[in-house]
Amino acid sequence: MGPAKDNLRSGYTTGACAAAAAKGALLALIDRRPVSEVAIRLPAGPVVAFILHACTHTETDGAASVIKDAGDDPDATHGAEICARVTWAAEPGVSFRRGVGVGLVTKKGLPVPPGEPAINPAPRRLIAETVAEVLAAKGLAGRGVVVEIAVPRGEELARKTFNPRLGIVGGISILGTTGIVVPYSTAAWLASVTQEIDVAAAQGLKRLVLTVGARGERLARALFPLPEEAFVQIGPFFGDALRHCARAGIERVILAAMIGKLSKFAAGNESVHSTNSSQDFAFLADTARAVGADTELVERIGRANTAQEVAEMVGAAGAGGFFGVLCRKAWNFAATLVGTSLALEVCLTGQGGEVLGQYPVP
């Protein structure tokens, strides 16, 4: 794969690897001989070649595998072996089976229904189209094919993903819309956030707690006695997550965060990632001024290095009203994004899990 943004190398999705493995397996079954390399056309457009890690056949099946190369993306499945086994079916078309290490969908709200292998629609289409092209080229159009996808270390790898929270058990998901992994792509991260919201909505939950990450969730769980599915780690995607909650039919949202991220959002930043927004200490100083902080404290806040340092200054000065106003400003900005479609609560927590401020005040 060629260079990507910032000279980082792109890679291939599990879906693209599965399609390449399926092609190798089918060719081995038809031609009665193993192949070492196959080329497939990705949904994104290009035709790319994949080296097969293994390829075998018997009288009744073909099998092949590809070692996933995720490029320079910190992907949990980088280096995983993606395997395909193909057999003939009595009925025309392509059907899918779940092999070892591929997850089983157990909850509603995902792109495939409960009881199905966790192979997303785009990879299913890519595999089916690749199989159809091989059959047509070999004069076997119309033959039925069963494709079984397996990932030998998939169950172990799945523990590093959101799958357990989404109700996908026993392995990883076969994913990918374009077939290409863009290094450090926020698209895949955001997709996992919106998918988790969809799963919660499909379980009938109407109240969610949005936190930034695992630490924030642990703190929030101690404050809000709600089911596990009600807690969603949204990363930096404050605006996108709130809008998606509104679209998904969620009625009440608690946005629980520590000062570093919440103050960025309160200042009017939909994304609080460091590449998209910086801490606005003038905004924090103005907030302190609005609650009657003295000139010295206001000036010190304006010169601060981190938002946590600001929180410590405010706490030491006893200017507790600052935290409530910050929550109100975050609430006001959220209202510009989702209007009155959500009953929103904003909760600012300290590093030890204590509640520093809330809006509306209970």
Q: In what order do the strands lie in the sheet with 207-211?
A: 231-233, 207-211, 252-257, 343-349, 355-359
| pLDDT of 204 higher than 50 | yes
* Residues 170 and 271 reside in one and the same domain: no
Based on the fold, state whether residues 269 and 139 are members of the same structural domain.
Answer: no
Residue 2: which pLDDT band, with cuts at 50, 70 and 90?
A: very low
> Rounded distance, CA 203 to CA 200, Å?
5
For residue 328, how many other CB atoms are within 10 A of its CB? 18
- 148, 181, 214: which is the final residue of a domain? 181
Peptide bond into 227 cis (omega under 30): no
Collapsing DSSP states into helix, strand and coil, what is residue 327? Answer: helix
Instruction: Give the pLDDT band of residue 184 (cuts 50, 70, 90).
Output: low
**Does residue 166 carry a pLDDT above 80?**
yes
Task: Quickly state the pLDDT bin for 351 (edges 50, 70, 90).
Answer: confident
pTM of the model: 0.73
**Do 168 and 236 belong to one domain?**
no
* pLDDT at residue 134 in the model: 98
Does 190 share its domain with 177? no
Q: What is the pLDDT of residues 101-151, one digit of tens each?
A: 999 999 988 889 999 999 999 999 999 999 999 999 999 998 999 999 999
CB atoms within 10 A of CB 292: 11
User: Looking at the structure, do residues 131 and 216 belong to the same domain, yes or no?
Assistant: no
Banded pLDDT at 8 (limits 50, 70, 90): low
Could you tell me the residue range of the domain that residue 207 belongs to? 186-359
Of 153, 181, 209, the residue at which a domain comes to its end is 181
Mean pLDDT of the chain: 92
Summarised one tens digit per residue, pLDDT across range 245-278 is 999 999 999 999 999 999 999 999 999 987 778 8
Q: Is the pLDDT of residue 6 over 60?
A: no
Q: Are both 135 and 17 inside the same structural domain?
A: yes
Helix spans in 138-237 (H): 154-158, 163-166, 186-202, 214-223
Between 324 and 340, where is the model more confident? 324
Give the H or E element holding residue 29. Answer: helix 14-31
Same domain for 212 and 170? no
Asked if 89 and 218 sit in the same domain, the reply is no
90 lies in the same domain as 45: yes
- Nearest in space to 266 (alpha carbons), one of 342, 209, 348, 186: 348
DSSP line for 130-165: HHHHHHHHTT-TT-EEEEEEE-TTHHHHHTTSSHHH
Count how many domains the chain has: 2
Which of 160, 181, 202 is at the close of a domain? 181
114 and 262 assigned to the same domain: no
Q: Two tokens at 226?
A: 């709600």
- SS3 of the chain: helix, strand, coil, percent, to 5: 40, 25, 35
**Domain of residue 88, CATH code:** 3.30.2110.10
- Tell me, what amino acid is at 257? A
- Same structural domain, 145 and 125: yes
* Domain identity same for 174 and 215: no
